[in-house]
């Protein structure tokens, strides 16, 4: 079975977030679709709400805090898919 990775980035504002729920559903659909093609899909979730202060500090100082390390994806080109979810107000 081939292994693939999907990185799921969610930018919901509340907790629980309808945006995260959407991201979870999209990730589950990707896993199911992959299984149908004989692929094993690994998902990695990044919740931007939890990192907001650290992201702002990084932009202001130019130095990423340790809390951003798990969200850093240095091998991003090796990931096969990216799912980004953000609620858009009309």
pLDDT of residue 12: 86
> Within a domain: residue 28?
yes
Structure tokens at 45: 């979730």
Instruction: Confirm whether 90 is domain-assigned.
Output: no
pLDDT, residue 75, reads 56
Mean per-residue pLDDT, 32-44: 91
Examine the pLDDT at 17 and tell me if it is beyond 90: no
- Report the pLDDT value the prediction gives residue 3, as an integer from 0 to 100: 86
| Extended strands (E) in 33-89 | 39-47, 81-85
**What domain range is 51 assigned to?**
2-85
Q: Is residue 24 part of a domain?
A: yes
CA distance 65 to 73: 15
Element (H, E) at 76: none
Q: What is the DSSP letter of 39?
A: E
Instruction: Write out the H or E segment, with its range, that includes residue 6.
Output: strand 2-10
Instruction: Flag whether pLDDT at 9 surpasses 60.
Output: yes
């Amino acid at each position: 079975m081939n292994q693939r990775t999907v990185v799921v980035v969610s930018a919901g504002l509340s907790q629980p977030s309808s945006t995260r729920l959407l991201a979870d559903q999209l990730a589950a659909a990707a896993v199911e679709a992959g299984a149908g093609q004989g692929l094993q899909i690994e998902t990695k979730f990044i919740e931007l709400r939890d990192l907001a202060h650290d992201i702002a500090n990084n932009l202001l100082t130019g130095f990423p805090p340790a809390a951003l390390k798990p969200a850093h994806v240095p091998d991003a080109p090796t990931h096969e898919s990216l799912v980004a979810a953000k609620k858009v107000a009309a």
